[in-house]
Every structure is written in C-alpha cells, then in structure tokens.
Amino acid sequence: MTTTTNGSIERLLKLEGAYNVRDIGGYPAEGGATVQRGRFFRADGLHRLTGRDQELLLDKGLRTVIDLRHDDECLAKRNVFADSTALAYYNVSLINPATTIEADIRCLGDMYVNMLDECGPQLGRVFTLIAEAGDGSVLFHCAAGKDRTGVVASLLLDLAGVPKELIVQDYAETEINLAPLMAEFLAEMPEEMRSAGYDAFMGSAPENMEMLLEHLHARYGGAEAYLSSIGLSEAQLAELKRRLLEA
C-alpha cells in the first residue's frame, strides 16, 4: 500500500491476474483509531493469479483465504490457493447474487438486506474463521469482490467504527476497478437473465450499500450486535476488533 501525492491511501494492489484486490485498512475508526493495514484484504476472483501475484500476496503476510463462491463457481474457476500448503483455504458458500430470483429483490440493496437476514449461519462461519485465523492476514473474495465480499467488508468496517460514508465509498470503488471485466461478466450471464434485466445488478451504486447499513443499524443495532446475534462470542468479537484496530 502506498500514499498518493494528495495524501490519500492507495489500497488497490496492482496484480496481473485480478482487478479488485484491496486492503481495507487505513480508514479512521472509533475512538480516534485507524483500521490496521495489511490485516484484511477484499478481492475478486483469484483463479487467474500469476505466480508473481501469489508471491506478492504471500509476502504481504497472507495466511488465510476465504472463498465465498458456490460450488459451481469454484469448479469452473478454481482458486489458485485452493490446494496451497502456504496458507489455509476455506470455502463458505454465500448466496450468489446472479442467481437469486426473488420477487421482492428489486436492486442490489434488497439483496444485501436479504443476505443479512437469511444467511446468518454462513456469515457466522465466515466471521468465526476470521476471528480464529491466527497470525497473518486474511483475504475474502467472491467472483467480482462486490456483493458477497462487499457485505463481509461492510460488517468488518462497521464493527471497527468506520464512518458510514467511508464504508459506502469503499463499496462503490468496485465499479471502477472492475470496468475491464464487465464485458466478460455480461457474456457469462445467461440470456434469460439479461433479458430479465439482471445486467442492472452488475454495478455498485452507493445507494445499495446505504440500504444495507441503514437496515443493519435499524434492525440489529450495528455490526457488533448483528454478529453476536448470529453466534459470535464476546471473545471472538474482541479478537476481531483487536485485529482490526491494534497495531
């Protein structure tokens, strides 16, 4: 991670085989703290990472990878770290936004709200793995690093006390980073889904994350209360906060 000429933090990793691998550190958090850099990375698909890319991530301390895709995705585009002996790899299948057909899901924001309400066991597993990961950094990813990954990232940042507007900003950046892959994603989408308007679910408009955060706080009281409600212990929550905030 580098600092740009205007003093802002450059979180995007310049890799050859992925476009949306980002450190979520550097954001201001509660009590004047800062989310620690080099602890948590969010990412798009890792199936095309080159040997150089893999070495770069391992050199940054990567020791745990959590793949949020479903089985078909994992088989079609196998994670390069799936059989690695250099780190721990886990697959926890969250819902796939591209194939979630529900009448009341009108936009991505609805989908994220639905994920919070309906995928507690899966999200509980993800956050338990993060809390118990031990030394080294953790990377979590899906296909685009936008929807499933975006929900996990937002919960981590909210738990750290990062201001809402910065969580929304972090989410919205994906649309810029993934521009080179949009044609590929659209080509892979079944024709019946394109004709049904599902191509509108390809972006990352800020209002979608705003919907998730409003629901998170209105219904659950924020990320800490939500994670507690889906089974994380006080010790696990304390460990998550420690990893997020302590140097």
Q: List pLDDT tens digits, range 150-164.
A: 999 999 999 999 999
Helices (H) and strands (E) in the chain, counts: 11, 7
What is the pLDDT averaged over residues 28-32?
93
Specify the pLDDT at position 191. 60
Place of tokens 């955060």: 213
Q: Is 142 a catalytic residue?
A: yes
Angle at 157 between CA 98 and CA 149, to 5 degrees: 20
Q: Which helix (H) or strand (E) holds 9?
A: strand 9-10
CA-CA distance, 62 to 58, in Å (whole number)?
Answer: 5
Please give the residue that has the higher pLDDT: either 90 or 197: 90
Asked whether the predicted pLDDT for residue 7 surpasses 50, the reply is: no
Beta strands in 48-133 (DSSP E): 62-67, 88-91
Query: Average pLDDT of 60-87?
Result: 96
> What one-character DSSP code corresponds to residue 34?
B
Nearest C-alpha neighbor of 81 from the set 20, 31, 17, 29: 17
Instruction: Determine contact, residues 35/26, Cβ cutoff 8 Å.
Output: yes
* Cβ pair 74, 82 in contact under 8 A: yes
% of the chain beyond a pLDDT of 70 = 83
At 78, is the secondary structure helix, strand, or coil? coil
